[in-house]
Amino acid sequence: MTAVAPSLAAAPQAAGEVLLEVRDLVKHFHVGAGFLGRAVGVVRAIDGVSFEIRRGETLGLVGESGCGKTTTGRCILQLERPTSGRIVFEGGDLGALSDDELRKVRRHMAVIFQDPYSSLNPRMSVGEILEEPLKVHGIVPDRVARAARVRELLEQVGLLPQHARRYPHQLSGGQRQRVGIARALAVEPSLIICDEPVSALDVSIQAQIINLLEELQARLGLTYLFIAHDLSVVRHISDRVAVMYLGKVVELADRQALYEDPLHPYTRALLSAVPIPDPQLEARRERTVLRGEVPSPLKPPSGCVFHPRCPIAIDRCAAEIPPLREIKPGHWAACHLA
């Protein structure tokens, strides 16, 4: 296969309805405000990203800071207007919708943020926080019914009815993230964008929240885009995983294929950098420590953006951009040598 973008319809195991399709997404930010606010540079935050998410699945999006994973999520939510490319959600092209139509469609998407403390209004009680989307979107206009729905939401995320009267500062980090999840559920979304939902939490609490997300997915038929930098967590929760580097998807595959048979040298380096909690195993493990740092998205390298740090780069890599191609069925990588 030589297709340029991953089309899961072409992959043999592709089954089920596509809920979200991202096609050739580009987001550039103009920065710098030189003299009179003239732009002095372009940050290529996302540079041609394509993937699909099927209803009911979890797609993990991993990469290091600045790779564009959060911006991708924000473009899907229409919190950023893409520079170019298409985002098709529930069959509708979000870029082609009127504001009114967009508002209706967007109700079926929700987001869970990394830091539950800064994303909950400190002056609102938990009950008010959960009621607000029900009111704003006219989901439950009746006051009594709304209170019942708030109780139901609290119960779904493992909190008690009396938590409705508490304020965010009276809750622990794990409880606050449960409120963040309940708020996302309030709009009855089909897609939830989880942007580093457990990375601010203590280790012992992370597992609680991950289990909760999985239970809710099974019970409510949710679809997740799970954005994270922790590769172990992403392996646990995702059905398929996309690896991003400097604004591009460099590898995309089923969970098992990606972790057991990574084809892109960046994915291999990432996996080898994760320390494993077992001293005896660690002592025997071979590691690829990458040289250098992620280059600036203001001036991405020529050819393959990973080539300056790549342990196996050849001359061709500096000259020619490797397309994301299907190397094995359902397993895509953007590497000349894969």
DSSP 116: T
**Minimum distance from CB of 199 to other proteins (Å)?**
10
Instruction: Considering only the stretches 104-112, 185-193, 196-204, 312-320, report the one whose residues sit in contact with other proteins under the rule CB under 8 A.
Output: 196-204
**Minimum distance from CB of 67 to other proteins (Å)?**
9
**Minimum distance from CB of 90 to other proteins (Å)?**
30
Sheet holding 331-333, edge to edge: 109-112, 191-195, 223-228, 58-62, 240-245, 248-254, 331-333, 325-328
Collapsing DSSP to helix, strand or coil, 84 comes out as: strand
Per-position x/- string for 79-108, each x denoting binding to other proteins as judged by CB under 8 A, each - no binding = ------------------------------
CA angle 257, 262, 263 (to 5 degrees): 115
Gap between the Cα atoms of 254 and 329, Å rounded = 10
Q: 151-179 burial, b if ≥16 CB within 10 A, otherwise e?
A: bebbebbbbeeebbebebeebeebbbbbb
Collapsing DSSP to helix, strand or coil, 169 comes out as: helix
Q: Is position 174 an interface residue for other proteins (rule: CB under 8 A)?
A: yes
CB 78 within 8 A of CB 94: yes
**Minimum distance from CB of 60 to other proteins (Å)?**
12
In order, the DSSP letters of 269-280 are HHHHHS--S-HH
Which CB, 127 or 262, lies closer to other proteins? 262
**Minimum distance from CB of 36 to other proteins (Å)?**
24
Which CB, 64 or 80, lies closer to other proteins? 64
Which CB, 109 or 250, lies closer to other proteins? 250
CA distances to 89, 96, 101, 241 from 229, rounded to whole Å, are 25, 32, 34, 12
**Minimum distance from CB of 116 to other proteins (Å)?**
14
Gap between the Cα atoms of 178 and 134, Å rounded = 17
Which CB, 222 or 294, lies closer to other proteins? 294
Q: Is position 289 an interface residue for other proteins (rule: CB under 8 A)?
A: yes
Gap between the Cα atoms of 238 and 241, Å rounded = 6
**Site for other proteins (CB under 8 A): which residue of 37, 144, 280, 286?**
280
**Site for other proteins (CB under 8 A): which residue of 137, 149, 235, 325?**
235
Write out the two tokens for 57. Answer: 């699945």
Q: Is position 188 an interface residue for other proteins (rule: CB under 8 A)?
A: no
Q: Is position 207 an interface residue for other proteins (rule: CB under 8 A)?
A: yes
**Minimum distance from CB of 174 to other proteins (Å)?**
6
Instruction: Considering only the stretches 7-15, 77-85, 199-207, 220-228, report the one whose residues sit in contact with other proteins under the rule CB under 8 A.
Output: 199-207
Question: 194 exposed, middle or buried (CB, 10 Å; 0-12, 13-18, 19+)?
Answer: buried
Per-position x/- string for 238-277, each x denoting binding to other proteins as judged by CB under 8 A, each - no binding = -----------------x---x---------xxxxxxxxx
Q: Is position 294 an interface residue for other proteins (rule: CB under 8 A)?
A: yes
- Of 70, 326, 47, 325, residue with least CA distance to 194: 70
Q: Is position 205 an interface residue for other proteins (rule: CB under 8 A)?
A: yes
Task: Specify which residues 84 forms β-bridges with.
Answer: 26
**Minimum distance from CB of 64 to other proteins (Å)?**
4
Which CB, 38 or 284, lies closer to other proteins? 284
Sheet holding 92-93, edge to edge: 41-54, 18-31, 84-89, 92-93
Binding site residues, other proteins, CB under 8 A? 64-65, 172-175, 202-208, 210-211, 214, 229, 231-233, 235-236, 255, 259, 269-282, 287, 289-290, 293-294
